[in-house]
Amino acid sequence: MTTSLLAFLRSIGLFKKPIVAITHKTFANNFWSRIFTYLCVKGNDKMLCLSDETRKLLRDNFQIPEDKLEFLPWCIDVNVPKLHDSQIYFNHVNSSYILSSGVSYRDYETLITAFQEIDYPLQIFGYGKVNYSYTDALPKNVNIYEEFLPTPQLLDKYKNAYIVAIPLKIEQSKPCNAFGLTSALEAMAMGKAVVITKNKYMGFDVEKEGVGLTIDTGDVAAWKDAISYLLQNPELVKEMGIKGRRLVKEKFNLEKFSLELAHYLKATV
């Protein structure tokens, strides 16, 4: 809200400093959102969008001038402990598990339902937000952990996982958002193949980049098929992990993000 207030004050001439905002989402496409955009958002000198689809949506649906919008890919710091090591942490299918973590708009119910027919361990770290309706009938191969895990401990879980599953509840009526992006980058940085619900606002296509598979929202059968396929193809999983690690180091790293951010800041001042 502070950023919006500053942008509003700048739009009416009461705030003189240039404003550069990083945006990971759009707004609900309704009358009040358009009023909000007109009064507040357009006061930003630059809006750096985490996906090109977000940039185009803000331009086309909310009439934000194109010269104010830029695509700035998100990042992860691969130089922190546990990510700095360039080793690809590939785990044998017979001695591992599938990991799923995160809170924002997760569709754990669909994933758990798929695992009723998959004979393989699934570990979910939902931090108390899983909201599975059938806990009493939870498949024996599914474990839900409610406690919060600090990033170093969570990265250990990534390290020992076979692949990472990121089920998302994408609702067309909701504002578009880069849900799942950070989780995907963390998994890729650890050399893990990713299975994720389709979300064109992430800034890249998991399947086109060859780092994993994508699933339509709420498609239990597709989750079952995708997981089963990767369980049967460990060499492909390893190849996806290698490509994912390389993609993060080349395109989604903190140094590249910082240099591009600095460029836009200097150009705006």
Q: Write down the domain spans for the chain.
A: 2-75+253-268, 93-250
93-250: CATH architecture: 3-Layer(aba) Sandwich (3.40)
Is it the case that residue 219 has pLDDT exceeding 90?
yes
Question: Quick one: pLDDT at residue 95?
Answer: 87
φ and ψ of 100, to 5 deg = -140, 130
Of the candidates 154, 147, 148, 247, which has an alpha carbon nearest to the alpha carbon of residue 207?
247
CATH number 3.40.50.2000 given to 2-75+253-268 = yes
CB neighbourhood size of 57 (10 A): 22
> Which pTM does this prediction carry?
0.91
Question: Quick one: pLDDT at residue 40?
Answer: 79
Confidence of residue 98 (pLDDT cuts 50, 70, 90): very high
Confidence of residue 110 (pLDDT cuts 50, 70, 90): very high
Confidence of residue 146 (pLDDT cuts 50, 70, 90): confident
Residue type, 144: I
Question: Quick one: pLDDT at residue 129?
Answer: 64
